[in-house]
Structure 1
Amino acid sequence: MKHYVAPSLTKPTLPDLSDYLKDSITSFCQISRMPVTFYNNEGNILWECCPEWKLCNYSNLYSMSDTICRKNLISCANFAAKLGEPYISICRIGLIQIAVSLIVEGKPLGCFIAGPIIMGTLRESTLSTLLQLNEVEEQQALKLMLFLKEMKSYAPKEINHLALLLNNCVLASIGTHTDYAKMNQQYKEQLRIAQELQNYKKQNSPMEYPFDMENELIQKTKNGDAEGAIEILSTLLDRISILESGDLNAIRTKFLGIYAVLSRTLSEQDANFHETVELDYEDMHELNHVNNFKELVEVAASFIRFCCRKAQNFIYDGNSALILKSLQYVNQNFTKKIALQNIAEELHVNPSYLSMLFKQELHMTFSEYLSKIRVNKAKHLLLKTNLSMVDVSLQSGFEDQSYFTKVFRKFENCTPKDYRKLHQK
């Protein structure tokens, strides 16, 4: 008895498939007793394994390339390529087919289709439909009936196992599965977007750009709140993907716009910030070479985390997590009426201890820090808007205009009006 020697593993090419791939498919056929045919993208047969087991060879429709039977096979092949995984379908007469696309270097070269086979019990309608679609003589009809009765039937679970086995035969011959995973991810993303669009249509919700989410993302990043910023980012990009119908380039462009706004906003609180967050060549290369929406979200999240770390350093570069959380709370709520007691309750610490820690770490009291943040906001509004002094004071967190003027003069040695006049010139 001769020893079996497996052929060498070489990448499949057209028009000839590799010996390793052919041997793998032949092994599948012999074990499963299922015929397998390889079609190119135009639906032409390039290779067959065990064609004598194929019912289709008794059909006139199958032998012609422009019939509904062949078009159905091409449709199955195209869908398997989009899925990046096995596609199980039912043919016109009610039999099962398993399609597995051959994808090499990102390009579908064709498709392996196993079957047709019987799932469950053979129905009388299968034969009657086959006879209706094909004009056959009585003797040929008897052959078809005998062929059908001799075909092995499979349970649904068995067909799933066969699909996986055929898929693994193809994958093993290629050497890399990244192309299949990429296409599968893209298909799932498109399916998710389509479902979301349907939900919006059912709810009659307007499809508008989520500026409120973008502003919230910027605010949380300014506060150094990485966890909160990433959570908002994920929801924001998800909404953008729906607006852009899953167009990866369009989503990437939108994120770059958000990043530019974020960078500009953060640079207003630190003159050197823009230089530290500007995207370099490696960053752009990473962003431009994402393959799917999931990867884009991951890369975008890494950029936002970096910005949050920089923002945290600007807010506070000490080692006290308690003070950092306190400052983040102040930066997020300074336009409201807040006191040290509020933060102490939020962080579950003693107010006296927190007050002492503020002076020790920041060399200023809580009230002084709160006033500094509010004055910085007022300076921004004075230069970037035409708001009245009353509105500037209110939007900066000061309830009283005279008190606002007093605090502002203490920090800037001039009144808010004089500050606007001086710097606008």
Structure 2
Amino acid sequence: MVPENLIKRMEALHGLTGITVRALDSNGESIGICGDDCEYCRLFRQYLPQGETCDALHALAGRRALDLGEAYLFSCHAGVCHIAMPLVSAGEFEGSILMGPFVIGECDPTIVDEPAHRYNIPLSSALEMYGACSALHVLSPEHTGALCRVVRYVFDGWDADSALESNRRHNMQQSRIGETIQMYKGFANSTPAYPYEKERQLVSCVKDGDISGANAMLNELLGYALFSNGSDIEGIKAHTVALCSLLSRAAIDGGVAAGDALDMNRDYMRRLWQASTIDDICYMMQDLVERFCSSAFPGHGAGGPSAYFALKRALNYIALNFAQDITLTSVAREVHLSESYFSTLFKKLCGTSFTEYLNAVRIEESKRLLAQGDLNVTEAAVRVGFASQSYFSKVFRRVTGMSPRHYAELHRK
């Protein structure tokens, strides 16, 4: 049974866009739908061979979205697009939201050609699919990117139990801080020294993206602050503000863009000074530590899980926006990394530079457009994001070994 709060989100998104929204279980099977089943998809499904099911592809897309940690745009067997968003409850993958189908750019009936050829669809059925194309929703690349973000915002944190989970984490933090205070009270005849080693370990954990370790060190430092300041909330605020500065520097060293780290630091300092209880201060600090850890990257580009997560986000962003005026700087900003660090990370994990990769993506799409025969070289260059035809031709020749005009003559359908 689909939770009511999830159904309301699905209904709102379908009502806004008209695009069908489904809730899927972890196997990709539909457990709830807002909207109508697509006629184009219904006609196509019967020709899928055994082992290639829509459910299996949808389950894979849900897992892919889970790996990315955000909405995932993909093209299915039938050549139409969908957006998948993972549904996570109490840390467990429960399934996904599937929004689609739709077409990006323009609804060209030739989208039927490739699946019809690949799956040996009879001419009569292919003609029916051509007719059904007109009912598909059409989105511009810009609207598609915006819709991906909306899907993420709507379904991220959908779980009704999130407030209970927040309370559980809050209580656990207070318990750990209390244990530290009791430990310091055991120093009967002396005042314990400030735990600089714990501070160094906290910095190390933040740089490495180790949330569990960072929280443990933070709670010990907060325990010392509460022990040494008692109920003096202003003294505790001063102590935590100093920790904020330390954490922001650690996050920058760990790969977070300086502007993002400083913005977060400034926001939390403002909130800390406005806090009215010690409990609120402690929980804000835990939230800040976790945000910095989630943004930092293990091994400073050594290829840890967070680094791969950032790269996946970058590649997904490029796939959606390659036809726009995107740059290394704009993509680094999108994944919240400094330009120099992102450039190094991209080269290390992809084996090529950002510019070379972006050009390869654009050239691959231009090859498809030129083979269709509907666009000339200049039009194809502009369509895939090249501002200059001469530069496009130079890059095309370097990648393919021939001019775009020659390629079009050889491959035009």
TM-score band, normalised by the shorter chain? 0.3 to 0.5
The two structures have a TM-score, normalised by structure 2, of 0.40
